Amino acid sequence: MPAKTFLNHHTSVVSLLSSILLIALLSVSFSLLAAPRPIPAAPAVAASGYILQDFHTGKIIASSKADERLEPASLTKLMSAYIVFTELEKNNIGLADEVLISETAWRTGGSRMFVEAGSKVSVENLIKGMIIQSGNDATVALAEYVAGTEGAFAELMNHEAKLLGMTSSNFQNASGLPGKEHYTTATDLAILTRALIANFPAYYPWYSQKEFTYNDITQPNRNKLLWRDDTVDGVKTGHTSSAGYCLVTSALRDGMRLISVVLGTKSPDARARESQKLLNYGYRFFETRRLYVAGESLSTSKLWKGNRDQISVGVNEDIYVTIPRGQDDALSATIQIQEQIIAPIEKNSKLGIATVTFGEEVLVEQAVIALDEYSEGGLIQRLKDTVLLFFE
């Protein structure tokens, strides 16, 4: 072979091999780019028990000893507030009602609003004293106003806890002072907090208030994250020597609300730091999406024997999902509607099911319903559709 021909041939082979190698490297690079990013383990949290949960979906993002019975300290006041808010919604009491402060309430130890025995204080001010100042005296005054005695109020708390599905909680008082049979869990407190935020949006903003003044005494909210993180808008601190330092936190970032419960830390700074650690982890590596909006038409189907040809279907509750951030490709949503829909159809009648999956995991199964009422059509329409259905 002539030297020139050999060199050209050799160069062509090298060029071909280089191209193959480049293509292989690019394929590996693209496959690495396309591969889902691994989600690291949740950070270590220095607490007796904790949980991080998405508000909309209820997905537990991180937890440890979340079902272990622990003392709630002043986190108890979340349940006390839930009862008071319920009574307000039922119009059994009013924010402007003047509450006579008993000597029992005035003598209650621990953190105080500094109400005076024999004075009258509005329900609204007592609520703010309970939430912002964590006043035990204010909490007992509210309990007595709602139920007559704090013991009777505790019965209401335990009844409501069972209705909410708080299966591992028992309350002996309204304020959170230590008691042998006064306990809850991080899981139960997350359940309670979700319900409180969802059911009482008019009152929830009080949990973000940074200070409250009563009787010429200004006290700051003990939740340090209200100053450190603008997305944090609640919820409640707690502390006794036996319970340690506790904090229930909620934050809202770009439409995603997370709830963290941290129980039994060593200091006020520790409960804030560990809570912030959990929130940052949740927002960094997970995202919550609203896939379907309640009341909006998701699809239309043929309506037989009806006053209209088509029927609109949707869902009666927003459908949210929480998934690892950046893994949208594994998310799938389908809607299955029954084959023949025959009038009359009542509004909210179940006509199918919406299913959302993430990989092989079913995240949501929710009924698909009629968004309106559909009555029967005229005689001719019904007869025509009867014939068509026969051939169907």
Q: What are the tens digits of pLDDT across the range 132-153?
A: 999 999 999 999 999 999 999 9
Which whole number is the average pLDDT over 321-348? 92
Euclidean distance between CA atoms 21 and 14, whole angstroms: 10
Query: Are 244 and 201 contained in the same domain?
Result: yes
Q: What percent of the chain has pLDDT over 90?
A: 80
Q: Is 260 a catalytic residue?
A: no
- Lowest pLDDT segment from 46-55, 125-134, 371-380: 371-380
The total number of structural domains in the chain stands at 2
Q: What angle do CA 122, 221, 262 make, to 5 degrees?
A: 120
Q: Looking at 236, 254, 287, which one is the last position of a domain?
A: 287
Q: Which one of the listed residues 134, 169, 250, 260 is annotated catalytic?
A: 134
Q: Is the pLDDT of residue 306 over 90?
A: no
42 phi-psi bin (left φ>0, alpha ψ -120 to 50, beta other): beta
Euclidean distance between CA atoms 284 and 182, whole angstroms: 36
Mean pLDDT score of the chain, rounded to an integer?
91
Q: Which one of the listed residues 74, 102, 111, 175 is annotated catalytic?
A: 74
**Strands 299-304 vs 286-292: parallel, antiparallel or unpaired:** unpaired
Q: Is 63 a catalytic residue?
A: no
Query: Are 304 and 168 contained in the same domain?
Result: no
What range defines the domain where residue 79 resides? 49-287
Q: What percent of the chain has pLDDT over 70?
A: 90
Q: Is the pLDDT of residue 252 over 90?
A: yes
Query: Are 181 and 225 contained in the same domain?
Result: yes
| Half-sphere exposure for 288 (CA within 13 Å, toward CB) | 21
| Helix (H), strand (E) at residue 32 | helix 3-34
Query: Are 194 and 302 contained in the same domain?
Result: no
Which whole number is the average pLDDT over 288-312? 91
Euclidean distance between CA atoms 89 and 85, whole angstroms: 6
The predicted model scores a pTM of 0.86
Q: Is 119 a catalytic residue?
A: no
Query: Are 125 and 230 contained in the same domain?
Result: yes
Q: Is residue 337 part of a domain?
A: yes
pLDDT at residue 36, as a whole number: 62
Q: Looking at 287, 319, 349, which one is the last position of a domain?
A: 287
Query: Are 275 and 304 contained in the same domain?
Result: no
Q: Is the pLDDT of residue 210 over 90?
A: yes
Q: Is residue 117 part of a domain?
A: yes
Query: Are 223 and 350 contained in the same domain?
Result: no
Query: Are 141 and 117 contained in the same domain?
Result: yes
Q: Is residue 5 part of a domain?
A: no
190-221: burial string, b at 16+ Cβ within 10 Å, e else: bbbbbbbbeebeebbebbbeeebebeeeebeb
pLDDT class of 9 with cuts at 50, 70, 90: very low
Q: Looking at 240, 257, 287, which one is the last position of a domain?
A: 287
Q: Is residue 38 part of a domain?
A: no
Q: What is the pLDDT of residues 153-166, one digit of tens each?
A: 999 999 999 999 99
